[in-house]
Every structure is written in C-alpha cells, then in structure tokens.
A and B are shown apart, each in its own frame.
Chain A
Amino acid sequence: MSDLNSYRTGADENGHFGIYGGRYVAETLMPLILEVERAYHALDGDEAFWAEFAGYLKHYVGRPTPLYFAERMSRHLGGAKIYFKREDLNHTGAHKINNCIGQILLARRMGKTRIIAETGAGQHGVATATVCALFDLPCTIYMGATDIERQAPNVLRMELLGAEVKPVTSGSSTLKDAMNEALRDWVANVSDTYYLIGTVAGPHPYPSMVRDFQSVIGDETKAQILEAEGRLPDSLLACIGGGSNAMGLFHPFLDDADVRIIAVEAAGEGIETGRHAASLSAGGAGVLHGNRTYLLQDDDGQITEAHSISAGLDYPGIGPEHSWLHDVGRVEYVSVTDAEAVESFQLCTRIEGIVPALESAHAIAYAGKIACDLPADHLMVINMSGRGDKDLDSVAKYLEARK
C-alpha cells in the first residue's frame, strides 16, 4: 500500500494527526519539546538504539509475550476463536514497561539525569520507577491522592524501587491532575529533567514516540498469529484510557483492511449517568495536556472529571491519533460499564486462571457482547494489557457494596 493510502504515516512534521495532536505547551517547555523531538527523530535508522531496545525487551522484560489461545473463554462465549496477547506477563505486569524501556534509553542519550512521570493506576509509575532503578536515575512520580488510596500496593512498589511518590491534591486528584503537576515540575526543572509520559498523549512527539515503542505488541502479534493460524486475525480488541496498549496492538494492523479493530472505553456507571471516562463516545474535541483531542468537558471548555472503577482508564482525554482514527472511521470505539468489566474480571479469572487488570477486563467484556454472533473460525485477539493483582482491593470493595 502506498503512503498516500496508509493509516500509518502520522504524525505530520508539526505533530498533527488530521486536526488532532500538536504542541500546545507553554513557551518555557517548547524548546524542551523540540529537543525531545530532535532526539526522537535521530532514532530513525539508528540500529544500535533499536538493538539495545530489543535486547532489554527480550532479556529484562521477557518478550516476546505469548499469544495464548483462550480455549475455555472461546467456548464459553460461544463464537469466535479468542487469543489473548499476554502483556500481563511482562516484567512489572503490564504493557507499560515497553515504552519505559524505550524512553529511558532516549533520556540517557539526551544526557538527562532526573526522571519524572505521572501515573493513574500506578502501572506506569511502577514501570518508570523500575527502569529508573535499573539505570540508577532519581525519579519522581506524580499520582493523584484519590489514586494513591485505591492503588496502595503500587505506591509501595514504587517507593521500594526508590521513587519519590508525590501525592497530587489539586483538581480532582486523579490522573489528569497528576499530569498537570508533572508538567509544572518539568517547567521548573528544564535543564536536567526528562518527562517520561506513559501513554500516547501529550505534546508531539510523545504520541508518536510512545506508539512506536508499544508497536512491538502488534508486530509480535502479527508474526505469532501467522505462525499459529497461517493468516491475520479477523478482529483486534483492546481497552483504551489514554490508549497506549490499544495503539501498540493496532498500529501494525491499520493498513490491513480486513482486520476489524475495536477499542473499548470505560463507560463507568453508564454513559447516560455522566459518570464515565468515554472521551470518544461522549466527549468533544478540545485542547489539554499539549494536544488537541477528544475530551470530557462542559460547554465552557472546562475539563470534567472522568470516572471508572479502573484507575488506568480514569482520564478525561485520549491520545490524538485515536481521535483521528475515530473520525476517519478506521477503528470502532465502544464502551463497557464498571459492572460489565467486573463481571468479566471474575469470569476470566475463574475459567482461564488469568486475573486480568480491570482495564483489560473492559476489552474482554466487549468480546463477550459480540463473540456469540461471530462464526467459530473468526480469529479475535484481545490485548491482555496487564495483570489484575493490583485491582483485588477495588474489586472486593465493588462486590461488597453490591451485596
């Protein structure tokens, strides 16, 4: 397929995917953003960098992760042949580490000596703290006070790894506020600090860069399904908050027109209740955190609070490339509720012996809605983006409240 007809050529030189993306940051940060962009572009064709990246993914992260045929789940849902891409088996328990390895190697090349990051569920914070321990760099993780409360085990892990976890109490005390606070830190510490963003959002080049580091998920999946089945999958499913696990799986397949691609947002207590995190299903275009993208906001342009039982999906925005893929119609964006996600969390644990992250349980829940109408030879890949040990407390509380 020629470049002109490809879905994989973005962002353009100014960081835009259609009208989305860009670099909406304060002038103090702009020179730094341009510095990161130059360093990112310098990776093109840098074989030594990519060999080092691949080496860490293989020997430290444990890649390739399996593409596992979930036979009992397939039978239970009664339709498609379902595979799980087992990102939960990565070191630190989620896909987040792929991106962290890439960016920490980049930060070292740039001569940066201090790392900052934001985290919601704590998975990105743990992955960042892990690579900082590995490369002996001091790191500060910003985390909303509300999230610290519901993800206590991950806070302890970060601290044991040597990170300083700073609680954020401004705004709604969740992921968006942690991102604000990380940006404030970066503005104040421009010379030595690298901001390791955890998802395909933020100012250019982060959405493209994080996608490139996460695309290992889709690249592996492609090779693995060809080996197992001799053909490409019929559908791909992934949960989506900021959208990095989804983008990582989807991107290598975007130009394979016969592959149906579905991203599952968090509908929280239900889209109609207003308490959800479904930026694409129920939001509109706006500008936040350095990029133009779909956001949850009121009609005065004030950002509203997201809600999801899953802290990792609890963000009022989404990566700009997803906004573009939504508008051009290449990817379907759907949503499932807290209740449906918890049900799938329990189901998957019971019949496959795999405790999925609540985030990933959203993708499984949507598979449950469509699988029964699909033919038995339909090949479906679900991204098992993380493991659910961190969520036991949230699930227990949720079930307790509904007794």
Chain B
Amino acid sequence: MSARIEVRFAELAEKGRAGLVTFLTAGDPDPETSREILMGMTDAGADLIELGMPFSDPMADGPAIQLSSQRALAAGASMQTTLALVREFRKSDDATPIILMGYYNPIYIYGPDKFLNDAAEAGVDGLIIVDLPPEEDELLAPLKSSGIDLIYLTAPTTDDARLPVVVKNAGGFVYYVSITGITGTKSAVQSDIASAVARLKRATDLPIAVGFGIRTPDQAAEVAECADAVVVGSALVSELASNIGAGCAAAVHKLVRELAAGVARADKPK
C-alpha cells in the first residue's frame, strides 16, 4: 500500500474528520495555469489530489470533464507532461497523495510496466482507471512491485454478490460512485449514500471516498458525515472553465477552501 495514502487517512482519522479529494485534469487549461492550480491545491485545503490523465474519448465523463480533457490535449498535454507535473509537485510536497485518474488506453500505449515505473518514480501514489474493471486484471502483477495502489470504483449497481470481486485487489481506498451516471450530472440522496457506505464498510477495511455529483460545500459537508473522503471534480473543473484568462487558479482555490470548510464542519460520528 502506498505510504502517503495510508498516512493521510490515518491523520484524518486522528483529526476525526473526512478528507477532501480534489480533481483537476493535468494540463487544463494550459500547462502553466494547471501547474499554478496544482501547486496551491494543498494550501487551499485538499487532503488528496486526483489528477486526470487527459483522454480523447472519456466515456464515463460528463461535458465538464470531457471539455477539460479536450482543452488539455489541445494545449499539448500527454502522459509525459502529466508525469512531469507530478514530479514538479513532489519537489515541494512529499506528503499529499497524488492519484492519477483516467482511461486505460494511454497507459497501455505508454507500456504498463514502464508507466508504473515512471509514475512511481514521479511520486504517484494511486491509480484509478475507469475502464479497467477487476475482470481485466492485467495490471495487477506489475503493480505489486511499484508500490502504487490500484483504486477501484464501486457503483450503486455493484451488488453484494459482486462487491467482494471488486474490493479483492483494491488498494488505497475504495471509491464509491454515488450515482448511476456520468460525472458532474445528477446528485445522490444523502441517505442512499450513507447506507451504501455502510454496505461497503462491511466488505472492506479500506477507507471509503464518495464522488460524482458533489458540487457545493453543503453537499460536501453532508457526505463527509458518513464517508472517509469526499471527491469533488466537475464543480472545480467548471469553476476553472468559467474563469479561464481571469484568475483561473484563484477561483479554483477559493472553491476548494469553501469545500474544505464544508468538509471540516461535518458532524462525523466516531
């Protein structure tokens, strides 16, 4: 298991609060602005950072993240520039976990062994590969020596019979996709999330992060009551998109601070 992810969740447990996981697409809207956003993310209140690996065909993402991928690719992003961004971040922050999130093809083309090696060397802690379900287990063997966690998604459609299959090789934390849908569209009902998290807790000892459809500090606060971490993606990416060329990074960091405050005020039962 990645040391940084394990340590970070232990710290959060100690503090008695949930963590805030923020998502941005690497290289969106351009290399320099993306770097500026990432560098200020921890200070603004992110506990873990998900960095999207841009892909031409993001099948599980809604319009906000589709567009962020297109902007990044148009501005020259590639797997090389994404890993370089992580390397840069690690120079000043050796504690905040970085999770790369994306689709399998760019990893497959990079070469899975070489990718895992380069990602570990750059300081990556976890991987979320949206279109690599547990049935396609080709990354598991090379992962073992890399120290990188493969973080699996679970969904409302993942029933109790299937759950053990999904969490069997899971590392880091388990990501609960709180809606049946693509990113940044509808939002789940709080009580459904609470019972889903309870169901996941019965199947795994790993922390549970909840994402998809969490947009506001109030929603973040609600979800933080039952989850170990709250993931916000599309709302941040939309904030970025509507402030391009006009204090993009500051706008994103402001929303991160508000979300962090929301998570911090959640009433988390011990």
Chain A residues within 8 Å of B, Cβ to Cβ: 14, 22-32, 170-171, 176-177, 180, 183-184, 187-191, 284-290, 292, 295, 297, 299-304
- Provided the pairs A171-B57, A301-B107, A302-B55 are in contact, do residues A24 and B133 lie with their beta carbons within 8 angstroms? yes
Binding-face segment, B5-13, B87-95, B158-166, B261-269: B158-166
Within 8 A of A (CB), among B11-64: 54-60, 62-63
Consensus secondary structure, chain A interface: mixed
- Provided the pairs A24-B104, A26-B59 are in contact, do residues A31 and B159 lie with their beta carbons within 8 angstroms? yes
Bound form: Cα–Cα A187–B58 in Å: 13
Bound form: Cα–Cα A301–B57 in Å: 10
Whether A188 lies near B177 (C-beta < 8 A) is: no
Chain B residues within 8 Å of A, Cβ to Cβ: 54-60, 62-63, 66, 70, 73, 78-80, 103-110, 130-133, 135-136, 152-159, 162, 166, 177, 180-182, 185-186
Whether A24 lies near B136 (C-beta < 8 A) is: yes
Bound form: Cα–Cα A83–B94 in Å: 69
8 A-B residue pairings within 8 Å (CB atoms): A23-B135, A26-B155, A30-B162, A177-B57, A180-B59, A184-B60, A187-B60, A188-B182
Whether B106 lies near A301 (C-beta < 8 A) is: yes
- Provided the pairs A14-B135, A290-B131 are in contact, do residues A28 and B155 lie with their beta carbons within 8 angstroms? yes
Looking at A180, A189, A289, A290, the one whose CB has the most chain B CB atoms below 10 A away is A180
Consensus secondary structure, chain B interface: loop
Choose from A22, A184, A304 the contact partner of B136 (Cβ within 8 Å): A22
Bound form: Cα–Cα A188–B109 in Å: 29
Whether A184 lies near B78 (C-beta < 8 A) is: no
Whether B135 lies near A32 (C-beta < 8 A) is: no
Choose from A24, A170, A187, A288 the contact partner of B180 (Cβ within 8 Å): A187
Whether B180 lies near A188 (C-beta < 8 A) is: yes
Whether A297 lies near B153 (C-beta < 8 A) is: no
Contacts of B162 in A (CB 8 A): 30-31
Whether B109 lies near A27 (C-beta < 8 A) is: no
- Provided the pairs A31-B159, A32-B157 are in contact, do residues A289 and B59 lie with their beta carbons within 8 angstroms? yes
Choose from B54, B58, B62, B133 the contact partner of A27 (Cβ within 8 Å): B133
Bound form: Cα–Cα A27–B150 in Å: 14
Bound form: Cα–Cα A32–B162 in Å: 12
Closest to A32 in B: B157
Whether A23 lies near B133 (C-beta < 8 A) is: yes
Choose from B106, B152, B158, B185 the contact partner of A300 (Cβ within 8 Å): B106
